[in-house]
Homo-oligomer: A and B are copies of this chain.
Amino acid sequence: MTMHHTGGRRKPPTIHDVAREAGVSRGTVSRVLNGGHYVSPAAQEAVNAAIRRTGYVVNRHARSLITGRSDSIGFLLTEPQERFFEDPNFNVLLRGCTQALAAHDVPLLLMLAGTQDERRRITRYITAGHVDGVLLVSSHSGDPVAEELREAGVPLVACGKPIGLGSKVSYVAADDRDGARDMVKHLLSLGRRRIGMVTGPLDTPGGVERLAGYREVLAEAGIEADDRLVVPGDYSRASGDAGAERLLERVPDLDAVFVASDLMAQGVLSALHRAGRRVPEDVAVGGFDDSPAAVASTPALTTIRQPWDRISAEMVRVLLAQIGGDDPAAVILPTELVRREST
């Protein structure tokens, strides 16, 4: 079947070969390639047959050179990468985006920009037109990259609301506040009244919104706000562990904890275990994310499911629309309470 020898990378057929094979001009081949408008059925067919016979695949570099589009999308991760990679949600997101993009036959370039230097280099690369648009995932969303890209006119959609950019930048996010509300209402419905919270980083929209939801529901239930019940976390397991310790010190009789991520909730579980508290008998624990960590924990975590598959699909949809000329748009997706053993 293959005529070339091992290691020899033969020259792929060009549009010229296809044209010769089909007995038409290169222009006609190109027209078939680009939607088949203004092409007779006969020519259409001849070209398609020739493409099949020659195994022709378009040279994207040549095409991009003239169209000025790269036909590829960047998946840009800024700020502390470790945190993201540790986070199982990240996987689902990355996989979802890659798949959604593959369905449109557009390759995804993975770009990591953890340091100031890398950020500068990648911004340059992007604004030079090497990708048609960017899916942006950054934690601390005061991120200057978003603003720079927006200003350079690069189509962009962020995962989560970029702080400070309002709706000038497209984004897709789960309804963090509503999710938090659901969880705290659930805890209240169980009869818990001294409900602590380990928050996410408060310079992120997710962190802020989940805390806001928690406070709202307690206020609505007529429970007085108590600052000792709120401790900050950074989405890491360790911060959950430390947070629970502090909570226990300050409010020994607390009967529930709402934790802003499942990973932190694992830490909370450990701390509670060390302190001899039973979950959920003594202390109910609610997480956020419905990540694999939620099922892996003992006891399995009651949590808030973020619709990651939908988030990734929407990010891709909005980005492609924007590349096609649409204006920026924000998409907020509902969450869902998943009850397990920890409450």
Contact = CB atoms under 8 A, between A and B. Distances in A.
B75 A85 contact: no
A128 B54 CA distance: 12
A60 B151 CA distance: 23
Contacts of A98: 110-112
Contacts of A335: none
B9 A153 contact: yes
Contacts of A65: 59, 61-62, 65
A102 interface: yes
B8 A153 contact: yes
Given A7-B153, A98-B110, A107-B125, 19 more contacts: A2-B151, A6-B150, A9-B129, A9-B152, A55-B124, A60-B61, A61-B61, A61-B62, A61-B70, A65-B65, A94-B110, A99-B112, A102-B112, A107-B111, A108-B110, A266-B296, A270-B298, A293-B296, A296-B297
Contacts of A2: 151-152
A164 interface: no
A204 interface: no
B154 A9 contact: yes
Interface string A134-156: 00000000000000001111100
Interface centre among A8, A60, A125, A154 (most CB of B within 10 A): A60
Give the size category of A's interface with B. Answer: 35 or more
Interface of A: 2, 4, 6-10, 12, 55, 57-62, 64-65, 70, 72, 75, 81, 85-86, 88, 90-92, 94-95, 98-99, 102, 105, 107-112, 118, 121, 124-125, 127-130, 150-154, 237, 266, 270, 273, 292-293, 295-298
Closest 7 pairs between A and B when the two form their complex, measured CB to CB: A57-B128, A9-B153, A61-B64, A85-B91, A61-B61, A61-B65, A110-B110
15 contacts: A2-B151, A4-B153, A6-B151, A6-B153, A8-B153, A9-B154, A57-B125, A57-B127, A60-B130, A65-B65, A72-B109, A105-B121, A107-B110, A266-B296, A298-B298
A54 to B, nearest CB: 12
